[in-house]
Amino acid sequence: MVWLTGGGLVLATLMIAGLLLLVVFNGTLTFWPKKLTQITTHAGMKYLGEVSRSEAYQHDGKPAHRQLLRTANFDLFGDHFKWISRHDVARIDYPAEAWTVERQEWGLFVGFLKEVRIDGQPVSQTFAELHGPARQRFHQLKSMEKNEIGEVNRAIEELRLDLRRIELKRGKESPEYIRAVAETTKRETELQAEYAKLGAEVTRLRAEDARYTVVLAEVNGQTKEQKISEIVRAYPANHLNLLQQIGVYASRWWEFLTDEPREANTEGGVLPAIFGTVMMTLIMSLAVAPFGVVAALYLREYAKQGPLLSAVRIAVNNLAGVPSIVFGVFGLGFFCYVVGGGIDQMFFPEKLPTPTYGTGGIIWASLTLALLTVPVVIVATEEALAAVPGSMREGSYACGASKWQTIRRIVLPRAMPGVMTGLILAMARGAGEVAPLMITGVVKLAPELPVDGHAPFLHLSRSFMHLGFHIYDVGFQSPNSEAGKPMVYTTTLLLIGLIALLNLSAIYIRNRLKKRYVGAQF
Amino acid sequence: MPTLTEPPPPAASPRAYRRTTSPAVRLVDKFTTALITTGGLMVIVAVIGILVYLVSVVLPLFRGATLTAAGRYPLLTPDRVNQLWTLQLDEHQHRGFILDRQGKLAVFDVATGKILSDEPILPATPAITAFTRTLRGGYIGLGFADGTIRLGRIRFTDAGAEAVLEDPLTIGKKDVPVHRLDYKVSDRREVVTVLKADGELVWDEVTRRENILTGKITTKLAKHDLPYQPPAGHTNLPDYLLQNSQGDQVFLAWRDGTVQRYDLRTIDRPLIAETTDFTPEPGIELTNLQFMFGDQSLIAGDSAGSVTAWFRVHRPEAGTADQYRLVPAHKLEAHTGPITATDMSTRDKCFVTGSTTGDIWLRHMTSKRVLSRVTLEKSIRATHLTPKGDAIFALDSAGHAHRWAVHNPHPETTWQTIFGKVWYEGYDHPDYTWQSSSGNDDFEPKFSLIPLVFGTLKATVYSMLFAVPIALLAAIYTSQFLDKRLRMPIKSTVETMASLPSVVLGFIAALVLAPIVENRLLQVLATFLLIPVVVLLGGYLWQMLPRHVTLRWEGWPKFALLLAGVFVAVLVGRVISSPLEAWLFSGDFKAWLDGRVGTAIPGIATLAWPVCLAVVWYAQHKIITNRLNQTLAGRSRVVVGVIELGKLLAILAAATALAWITGMILTQFGMDPRGSLVGTYVQRNTLVVGFVMGFAVIPIIYTISEDALSSVPEQLKSASLGCGATQWQTAVRVIVPVAMSGIFSAIMIGLGRAVGETMIVVMAAGNTPLMDVNIFNGLRALSANIAVELPEAVKDGTLYRMLFLAAVSLFVMTFALNTVAEIIRQRFRKRAFQL
C-alpha cells in the first residue's frame, strides 16, 4: 500500500516532467533547419518536403505506417501538407540542391532555385548577393508605408476630429465652424498633395523592387517567379554544415523575438505579443502594488481586530479562488463599458460612436488582472506584516516614534521580502492568465503597439497581443493549425520561461532581502 | 560568568531633548492614518463591490415590462370599429392606418389621432368577403364576392400609407364568393390558400416573371386542389383558415374549437393529418386564432378568456397521418372575459391580448409570462404591437385609441426558463436547452443555464476523480514515507505545476493528448487500470528484497524503481491493449462504444471492477488476514513476501471473476452502460478534459494536504510507532484522521479551481451544450461559455445579462466552496495546535 501512494507521487512528478520536456523539446527544435526529403512513389509522383511526423494507421484493415510531409508551396498546390503511406514509397532521396525558401506571403516554398532575374532577364549575380539589398528595400518600403504615409493619414484624421469637436461645441452654423471648415479644407488639400507625392515615391520603389526576381521550381518542375525582396530567408537545406545550421537557427530565433507575425500568426515573430504581455504585467503591478499594500496595512496595522475583520479577511482570501473569467466579465462590464464609456462621453465625444476607451484595451485588461491578483498581494503582505515581531514595534514606540514612522522605518522594511514575493507571484499569475483577457481587450493581431512615437506616446486604450492568447489563437483559430503547431510550442516555451523567470526572481529577491534584514534583527 | 555591567551613560548631548512630538510628524501620522484607512476600506469595498455590480447587471432580466400611457383620443366611430380588417403603425410611431371592410384606408397621425386621408383603395363592387395580411412586410390578400382574389401590399410612405394591389386573379368557379384566404410571403416562396363558399379549397404557389423588355410582371398561380372534408357535424364553413409561410401546413378551424390540419409536405398528395379540439370544454368558443411570429405556434384565444399556444410535435404513437400532433404546449394565464383581439410581435415571441373586460396584457409565449397589464373601461376591439415592439396601440369599442410606450428588454427570461425545463417550438418535449444564436431571423434564443452547470459539474467530477487520488496519495507519500533528501526537490517540482498557465495545459490537451487518446483509446484506459496494479506488485516484490538492500535503496533508487513500475505499466498496457480489444470488444472498441458490436458484459465488468476489488479486499481482510498472520509469524521475509504476493494475485483474480459475473448478471437484467456512462466517442471529450484539468488541480490539492499532513504533531506519530504500529498503520489510522479536515479543505479548494477553469475547457471540451454523462462526449462549461460568447454579446442585451448571470453563479459557487474550505482549515489549525 505504501507503494501505491508512492505510485501517486511518481505519476504526478512524471506528468509534470513529461509536459515540461515535451514543451522544451518541441519548442527548442522548432527553428532547427530540417532536411528536405524527396519521396518518389510507386505511381511515379514526386514529393519534396520536410518530414513533419509519422504515425501508424489502419489501411484496409492492416496496420500501416505513414508520414506527414510538409510539401509547402501553398500557392501552387493549395495545401501545406501531404500524407504519404510507407507502402507507396519507391525511393527516398535528399537532393543536395533543394532549397527551403521562407516567404513573406504564402508561407514556405520548397524546391529548387532555377535562376535569378533582373527585368525578366537571367543574370549572373547570385541570389545571396541580391537578397541583402532587396530586403533593405523591402524594409524601407514598409517603413515608408507605416511611418510617413501613416503620418499623413493620422494628420488627416486629426483634422476631421478637430472639426467634429468644434461642431459639437459650437454647432454647425457658428462662424467658428465655418472658419474651421475652410481651414481644414486647405490643410487637407496640402496633406493630400503630400500623400500623392509619397504615393509616387512608393510606387517608384515598388517598381524598382519588382525588377529583381528569382525563379523557383518545385520538384515536379512547375515554376514560380518570386520577388527577391519578399523572401525572408532561403537556404539549401540538405547541404548546410553545422555552423550554417546554427546560423539559420539563431536567425530564426532572432526573427521570432524581434519581428512581427505574418501568415495569420503562424510564422514570423511574436514581438508585439511579448511587448503586450510585459506591458500589461507592468501596468498591472503598478496598479496592484500600492492598493494591495495599503489594504494589507489597513487590515493588519490600523483596523480593529475582531470577528468582522476576520470575515473580511476570509472574503478577501477567497476572492483569490474566484475564477478569473468572472473578473473578466466584471472588467468588461464595469471598466470597459461603464468607466470607459464614461471617459468617451466626457473626453472623446468627437470620435463617437467609435469607442476610444469604451471597448477592450490594455488598461482595462491590466486593471482586471490587478483586481484578480490583489488578493494575492494582500494575503502575502499581511503575512509578512504579521511576521514582524511585536517587540520591534513596541521598541520603536518606546523610542517615541509615531505610528507611521514605525511602519515606514521598522515594519515595512522587514516585511519587504514578503511583499515583493507576493507581488512577483501576482505578476506570474497575471502573465499566465488568458481567459479574462479574451473579453477585455486582447486581439489576435494588433495593428499598433500601445507605445509609439506619437503623443501621448502611451496609448492605454489600444488593444494588444498576448503570448497566452497567441497560443490559443494559433493553435485553435488558425486555418492552418498543423503549420502553426511548432510556433505554438515555441510561444509556450517563451511564456513558461517568462513565468519561471518571474517565479525564480521572486525566490531570489526573497532570499536576498531576507539576508539583508536578518542581520539587522535584535 | 561575566556579570552584566551598566551601559556607560550617554555622552552629554549639546541639545536638550524635546519632550513633545513635532507637529510635522503628527500631521504626517494623521495624514497617513487617514489615507491608509480610506484606501484600505476602499479596496475592500471595491473587491466586494464586484459581486454587487455583477448582480446589478443581472437583475433587469427578471423585471417585467413597463407600460407608460402615451396618449388617448377618439379615432373612429363605434360602427366603424366593428368593421375593421386591420390596424397598423409604422416603426417610428409617426403614421398609422386602418383598413375597413368597405375597403377604405384611413391614415392618421399617431401623436394626435388626426385623420390625414380616408380614401377607398378599391372600387365599391365586388364586395370584399375575405382579408388576410402577413405579419411582416405589409403584404395583404383580399377575397371578393365574384370569386377573385387580389394580392398586394400596404406600405408606409413619407406622406402616409399607400396600397398597391395587383390585378384580380380568379380562383375556382367564377362568381362563387371567396370565403377565407391566407397569403404568406417568405424569402423562398409565396403561397396563397383560398376557401370558396362552395367548399372548394385551393392551395396556390405564386410565381412572378418579369418581362425584360416591357418590365411588366406577370403573376402565375400553380394550383393544387386540397380535399375539403369537414369533420362530422360541421355543416357550416370554417371560421379560420391559416397556413404557415413554408406553405406545408394548412389549418381550418371552426368557432367550436375544432381544428383540422393539412399536411402538404408532398403537395401532390395532400393529407388531412389530424382533427383536434382547441376548446375541449363544452360551450366555449374559439374567438381568436393567429400564428405566432415564426409561423410555428398557433395562439388560440377563446370565449372563456383562456390563451393557449399550440404547436406541432413529433408523436409517432398518436396515430396521425403524418406522425405529428398538435399539442397545447403553453397554457397562459386567462383573462376574465372572452378574447377579442390579439397581435403578435414581429421580432420575438411576445404578443398582446385584449378582452371584452377591457384588459390588455402584454405576454410572452415561451416564458408564459404576463409582462404587463392595463385595463380600460370598454371592451377591446383591436390591439397592435408596433414593429419595434416599443408601443402598444389599442382601439376600444367606443372607437377611442389608446397608446402606451413599452419598455420590454428581456421578455423571455424567468427563473423557470433559466433553471427549468422549457418547451420550445419544434421540440418534442420540454427540455433544458442553451442555444444563444442562430442564422435564422425568426430564431428564438434559448437560455437555460442547466446544461452549462451540468457541463461544469461533469468536467469537475471527472477531473476530481482523476486528481484527488493521485494528489492525496502523493501527499501522503511525500509527508510520511519519502526520503528526507528527496522531499524538497519533489515538492517544489509539483508546486511549479501550479503556476503553469492553463492555456498551455489546454493546448497540450487538445493538440497533443486528444489525438493520442483517440488513436490508442483502449491502451490509455488499460494503462490507467494497470498502473496501480503494477505498482502494488512492485511493492510486494520490494518486500522480498533483503533488508540491508531496502535500507540502502531507500532514497533515489526506490524512486527510480517506482518510475520503472509506471513504465512497465505503460508497456504492458501497450502490449495487451490489442488482444484485449479483440477479445472483449469484438476488435473495435469505438464500434463497441457506439453499440454496434459486442455485449454489455465487458463494459459493466470494467466499471464494476474497482468496486469488486474493494469488496474482495474487505472480505479477505475480515476472514483470512488474522489467521494468515498467525501462521506466517516467524517465517522468513522472502517466504512471507511470496505468500503475500500470491494472496494479492488471488485477490485480483477473484475481483476480476466477481466483476465478470456481475456483468453477466446485470446484462441479463438488460443493463448497458453504453448510452449513459460511456457511449459514442467524440474527439474533444471529457476524458481528456478530466485528465488535463486534473493536472491543473493536483498541485493545489497536493500542496495544501501535504502541509496539513506534515503539520500533524510529531509526538502523535512517535507514540503510534512506539506502540508497535507499522508506518502504514500510523499513517492511515493516526496521521490521516488528524489531518482530515485539512485534506478536506484542500479538496474543496481544488474543486473551486476546477469549477472555474476556463481555457482548458474552451480548448479541449468541444463546447457542445449537451446533458450527457458519457465520458467520451464533450461538454460546455459555464466558464467556457462566457469566454466564447461574451465578446459577441450586445451590451445590455439578454445574452449579455445571461452571461453575467453565469458569472454570478460561478462566483457564488466558488466563493461558497472556498469559504467552507477556509472555515474548516482554520478549525483544523486550532485543533492541530491543541494536540
Radius of gyration over every alpha carbon of chain B, rounded to an integer in angstroms: 39
Distance CA B345, CA B290 (A): 12
Question: How confident is the model at residue B1, as a pLDDT?
Answer: 41
> Do A325 and B823 count as a contact with CB atoms less than 8 A apart?
no
Q: What is the CATH number for A380? A: 1.10.3720.10
- Give the number of other Cβ atoms within 10 Å of residue B92's Cβ: 12
Q: Looking at residues A366-392, what average pLDDT do you find?
A: 88
- Lowest mean per-residue pLDDT among A61-65, A404-408, A409-413, B681-685: A61-65
User: Is the CA virtual torsion B384, B386, B389, B394 positive or negative?
Assistant: negative
A145 part of a folded domain: yes
Interface test with A, best of B36, B59, B757 (most A CBs within 10 A): B36
> Could you tell me if A356 and A483 lie in one domain?
yes
Chosen domain end from A82, A114, A146: A114
Residues of A in contact with B702 (CB under 8 A): 12
Residues of A in contact with B47 (CB under 8 A): 315-316, 319, 371, 374-375
Residues of B in contact with A6 (CB under 8 A): 473, 477, 481-482, 535, 539, 558-559, 562
> Could you tell me if A287 and A357 lie in one domain?
yes
Number of H helices, E strands in chain A: 17, 13
A162 part of a folded domain: yes
User: Is pLDDT of B11 > 60?
Assistant: no
C-alpha cell at A471: 497560443
Interface test with B, best of A329, A378, A408, A496 (most B CBs within 10 A): A329
- How does pLDDT run across B795-833, given as a tens digit for each residue? 888 899 999 999 999 998 888 888 888 888 887 777 766
Domain count, chain A: 3
Nearest CA in chain A to B826: A314
A412 part of a folded domain: yes
Q: Which of B143, B257, B255, B126 is nearest to B202 (CA)?
A: B143
Question: How confident is the model at residue B2, as a pLDDT?
Answer: 47
Distance CA B531, CA B528 (A): 6
Question: How confident is the model at residue A520, as a pLDDT?
Answer: 47
Question: How confident is the model at residue B307, as a pLDDT?
Answer: 93
A80 part of a folded domain: yes
> Do A319 and B43 count as a contact with CB atoms less than 8 A apart?
no
Query: CB of B742 within 8 A of CB of B709?
Result: yes
Apex CA B338: angle with CA B337 and CA B340, to 5°?
Answer: 120
Nearest CA in chain B to A360: B791
Apex CA A418: angle with CA A414 and CA A421, to 5°?
Answer: 140
> Could you tell me if A106 and A168 lie in one domain?
no
> Do B496 and A328 count as a contact with CB atoms less than 8 A apart?
no
Q: Å from A101 to nearest chain B CA? A: 27
User: Is pLDDT of B764 > 80?
Assistant: yes
> Could you tell me if A87 and A168 lie in one domain?
no
Confidence tier at B9 by pLDDT (50, 70, 90): low
> Could you tell me if A105 and A131 lie in one domain?
no
User: Is pLDDT of B143 > 50?
Assistant: yes
Question: How confident is the model at residue A64, as a pLDDT?
Answer: 80
> Do B790 and A12 count as a contact with CB atoms less than 8 A apart?
no
A257 part of a folded domain: no
Would you call A217 helix, strand, or coil by DSSP? strand
Q: Looking at residues B636-663, what average pLDDT do you find?
A: 84
User: Is pLDDT of B3 > 70?
Assistant: no
- How does pLDDT run across B362-375, given as a tens digit for each residue? 999 998 889 999 99
> Could you tell me if A56 and A77 lie in one domain?
yes
Q: Å from A476 to nearest chain B CA? A: 7
Chosen domain end from A114, A145, A169: A114
Confidence tier at A192 by pLDDT (50, 70, 90): confident
> Do A439 and B786 count as a contact with CB atoms less than 8 A apart?
yes
C-alpha cell at A336: 470597459
Q: Using CB atoms, pick whichever of A8, A298, A327 lies closest to residue B477.
A: A8
Q: Using CB atoms, pick whichever of B33, B504, B803 lies closest to residue A471.
A: B504
Q: Using CB atoms, pick whichever of B44, B482, B804 lies closest to residue A312.
A: B44
> Could you tell me if A109 and A153 lie in one domain?
no
Q: How does DSSP classify residue B10?
A: P
Q: Å from B554 to nearest chain A CA? A: 12
Q: Å from B388 to nearest chain A CA? A: 22
Query: Please, which residues have CB within 8 angstroms of residue B392's CB and are 6 or more apart in sequence?
Result: B67, B352, B360, B362, B383, B384, B385, B386, B403, B404, B406
Share of chain B above pLDDT 70, in %: 97
C-alpha cell at A429: 499569475
Would you call A389 helix, strand, or coil by DSSP? coil
Reduced 3-state DSSP string for B324-369: EEEEEEEEECCCCCCEEEEEECCCCCEEEEEECCCEEEEEECCCCC
Question: How confident is the model at residue B786, as a pLDDT?
Answer: 92
**A55 close contact with B: CB closer than 8 A:** yes
Nearest CA in chain B to A476: B763
Question: How confident is the model at residue A519, as a pLDDT?
Answer: 47
Confidence tier at B234 by pLDDT (50, 70, 90): confident
Phi and psi for B156 in degrees, rounded to 5? -80, 135
User: Is pLDDT of B21 > 50?
Assistant: yes
Confidence tier at B14 by pLDDT (50, 70, 90): low
Interface test with A, best of B553, B617, B759 (most A CBs within 10 A): B759
Confidence tier at B385 by pLDDT (50, 70, 90): very high
> Could you tell me if A221 and A309 lie in one domain?
no
List the domain range (segments joined by +) for residue A63.
Answer: 37-114
- How does pLDDT run across B423-463, given as a tens digit for each residue? 988 888 898 988 887 766 678 888 899 999 999 999 999 99
Question: How confident is the model at residue A388, as a pLDDT?
Answer: 84
User: Is pLDDT of B7 > 70?
Assistant: no
Average pLDDT, chain B: 85
Cis peptide before A353 (omega within 30 of 0): yes
Question: How confident is the model at residue B439, as a pLDDT?
Answer: 66
> Do B494 and A500 count as a contact with CB atoms less than 8 A apart?
no
> Could you tell me if A215 and A315 lie in one domain?
no
Q: Å from A398 to nearest chain B CA? A: 13
Phi and psi for A457 in degrees, rounded to 5? 70, -40
> Do A325 and B786 count as a contact with CB atoms less than 8 A apart?
yes
Provide the residue type at B694 as one letter: G
For chain A, the residue count is 522
> Could you tell me if A342 and A321 lie in one domain?
yes
Question: How confident is the model at residue B4, as a pLDDT?
Answer: 47
> Do A14 and B566 count as a contact with CB atoms less than 8 A apart?
yes
Q: Using CB atoms, pick whichever of B39, B54, B478 lies closest to residue A298.
A: B39
Phi and psi for A354 in degrees, rounded to 5? -75, 120
> Do A499 and B501 count as a contact with CB atoms less than 8 A apart?
yes
> Do B471 and A402 count as a contact with CB atoms less than 8 A apart?
no
Q: Using CB atoms, pick whichever of B531, B728, B758 lies closest to residue A323.
A: B758
A175 part of a folded domain: yes
Q: Looking at residues A358-366, what average pLDDT do you find?
A: 86
A120 part of a folded domain: no
Q: Looking at residues B626-647, what average pLDDT do you find?
A: 78
Query: CB of A492 within 8 A of CB of B504?
Result: yes
- How many angstroms separate the Cα of B545 from the Cα of each of A402, B550, B551? 68, 6, 10
Nearest CA in chain B to A468: B503
Find residues 495-514 of chain A whose CB sits inside 8 Å of chain B: 495-496, 499-500, 503
A13 part of a folded domain: no
Q: Å from A20 to nearest chain B CA? A: 9
Nearest CA in chain A to B497: A16
- Lowest mean per-residue pLDDT among A204-213, A387-396, B553-562, B682-691: B553-562
Q: Looking at residues B106-116, what average pLDDT do you find?
A: 89
Query: Please, which residues have CB within 8 angstroms of residue B239's CB and are 6 or more apart in sequence?
Result: B180, B253, B254, B255, B286
Confidence tier at B321 by pLDDT (50, 70, 90): confident
Residues of A in contact with B755 (CB under 8 A): 323
> Could you tell me if A357 and A396 lie in one domain?
yes
Residues of B in contact with A431 (CB under 8 A): 501
Share of chain A above pLDDT 70, in %: 97
Nearest CA in chain B to A436: B787
Q: Using CB atoms, pick whichever of B41, B53, B494 lies closest to residue A298.
A: B41
**A339 close contact with B: CB closer than 8 A:** no
> Could you tell me if A384 and A494 lie in one domain?
yes
Would you call B699 helix, strand, or coil by DSSP? helix
Q: Looking at residues A488-512, what average pLDDT do you find?
A: 84
Nearest CA in chain A to B478: A9
Residues of A in contact with B532 (CB under 8 A): 4, 7
Residues of B in contact with A441 (CB under 8 A): none
Query: CB of B542 within 8 A of CB of B561?
Result: yes
Question: How confident is the model at residue B141, as a pLDDT?
Answer: 92
> Do B519 and A499 count as a contact with CB atoms less than 8 A apart?
no
Distance CA B726, CA B160 (A): 97
